[in-house]
Structure 1
């Protein structure tokens, strides 16, 4: 992708996000419902809807069935699509090869833009190259902060998972944890690995990694329970998604131990668990904002030639901690399915 015409601005990414995020006040109704295969939905007619020509954007993620995190990402994308007169085509597959195939489908359909995740960057390289060759702009979101530029993406919206993990490790030190287990629900997912590596780097206690099958929640529960029964010295479980945190709470109860649970990512149920004290804290990367900005950025590029971050810097949406001190405010948005 030709970057010669891009702005050389090096303003902090957080500042660059302000203008795009301000458009959230114009967000309209949903553009469709979920599913594994590509699905389409026409936007509604909210006040302030863009008068620009209709365009089609494909959003392709590595979502696994039942992972509520992606429902929030999609709501943000649908709100931007409704505002921007965009037909949003959403598809997902946790298998990297299949996800790459979905990107190729979008290229074949000659969409106007593609937003995608890079959980396994190497597997996506060829498909992204074909999109670039077809002159279809591609932006990244959620995973791939270390790889988006070298793969030729236009922009990136998400969280630096290493930084988030390091912040999490420091938080564990603050609460007096001594022995933590980091639970990874998908082997090979670079973002999840970076989270656990970040925790290990800054946590002064002992850290272990436990792999579970994230597509089989009963198996997740039994694997964590077995680990807790095996080692009663574990005092913190670090999970990498809200559904797994809630399951870990069940494992702690079943094992009869005293381990506490903290996690990355939020959903409605998890904010309630923080309020009750069964989850200690969570890292919020604002998935709604990721989906919204990814779609809106492609509309801005198409209609005004804009690059968030000057085409050189990622726009960071996290990390931020949610605990009992601030969960009440966050929960009001989580009830709406947007946090």
Structure 2
């Protein structure tokens, strides 16, 4: 199922245990910190850089314009690119057809590797196959944990969204919640659907999904507020992004509701909201780490034939709960724009 390595690369990937994966992640991050500064660092400055030939890697996501989550993914990718002597290009399109077009552009440019999100896997099948046919290795990140293998991607870095959803459902039980509203800001996004389905599977209370247009924050705020006014039994609002959680805080105030707010994903403003008690907790999937590992994985494959997880298992970057009790340990990294 994997793209065959070029002759210069060695083969024979090994199975990776959980402990080995954890150690590798720590080592990779330690190396990445020394090279942080983006992929356009002065080519004459070789300090902290790999001594390998320069390669081109395209990072292509479904991120919407202005979504700070993807800034974290990009920063991680840039850190790895700076360390690995990679010329990195980043492009995104929230429209699946548009994202597929960006992949075709990267193929035409004969890049050496592609890191790709699979929020809508069916729309990516054709272009992933084209990349493989062109001998371009493709790794997945962030979205598509149930699709990356069937599409022939080498590796996958991200959170198992179903597991994350079930963990959040258990957390709501611990907090004695009774009625949760799970807000999905992008229809058809498999990751968001899996999260809310996971919540419903383990949460003993009532769970109902609410669909909103994530490109219009005013609408997000007003629609959630209207739901809270209409059904005062809702005591927990679960969001699928930090900016939407902050909007929901306003919705709760606007509706005069007593509902609490919890969310998947994190940014520096959300960290402050957890510290201040406006948001109960966040489930962090570590987007910086996803971007870093995806780019570094292509470099490792190109120059050493390595495949994390042996091509059989994803490398999980979450879920991790950020609460008022532990948020202080995350806050300094969030302030630096890496969490």
Q: Structure 1-normalised TM-score?
A: 0.94
How far residue 126 of structure 1 moved from its aligned partner, in angstroms, is 0.2
Aligned to 2:315: 315
Distance in 2 of aligned mates of 1:319 and 1:68: 19
Q: 2:41 aligns with which of 21, 33, 43?
A: 43
Aligned to 1:142: 142
Q: Is the Cα contact below 8 Å between 1:17 and 1:315 reproduced in 2?
A: no
Return closer, same or farther for 1:198/1:279 CA change in 2, 3 Å cut-off.
Answer: same
Q: Is the Cα contact below 8 Å between 2:2 and 2:154 reproduced in 1?
A: no
Aligned to 1:115: 115
Bigger shift: residues 178-187 or 7-16:
7-16
Whether 1:22 aligns to 2:22 is: no
Aligned to 1:37: none
How far residue 23 of structure 1 moved from its aligned partner, in angstroms, is 2.4
Aligned to 1:256: 256
Q: CA RMSD in A?
A: 1.5
Find the residue that maps to 1:317 and give its secondary structure.
strand
Find the residue that maps to 2:318 and give its secondary structure.
coil
Aligned to 1:133: 133
How many pairs were matched up? 330
Aligned to 2:193: 193
How far residue 18 of structure 1 moved from its aligned partner, in angstroms, is 2.6
Q: Is the Cα contact below 8 Å between 2:187 and 2:211 reproduced in 1?
A: yes
Distance in 1 of aligned mates of 2:270 and 2:299: 33
Aligned to 2:213: 213
How far residue 320 of structure 1 moved from its aligned partner, in angstroms, is 0.6
Equivalences for residues 1-339 of structure 1 within 5 A? 1-2=1-2, 7=12, 9-13=14-18, 15-27=20-32, 28-31=35-38, 42-44=40-42, 45=45, 47-339=47-339
Deviations 1:121-140 (A, max 9, x none): 00000000000000000000
Deviations 1:111-163 (A, max 9, x none): 00000000000000000000000000000000111110000000000000000
Q: Is the Cα contact below 8 Å between 2:140 and 2:155 reproduced in 1?
A: yes
Distance in 2 of aligned mates of 1:89 and 1:274: 34
Unaligned runs of 5+ in 2: 6-10
How far residue 8 of structure 1 moved from its aligned partner, in angstroms, is 6.5
Return closer, same or farther for 1:203/1:20 CA change in 2, 3 Å cut-off.
Answer: closer
Distance in 2 of aligned mates of 1:303 and 1:18: 21
Q: Is the Cα contact below 8 Å between 1:14 and 1:316 reproduced in 2?
A: no
Distance in 1 of aligned mates of 2:70 and 2:2: 31
Q: Is the Cα contact below 8 Å between 1:13 and 1:313 reproduced in 2?
A: no
Q: Is the Cα contact below 8 Å between 1:7 and 1:311 reproduced in 2?
A: no
Distance in 1 of aligned mates of 2:74 and 2:320: 20
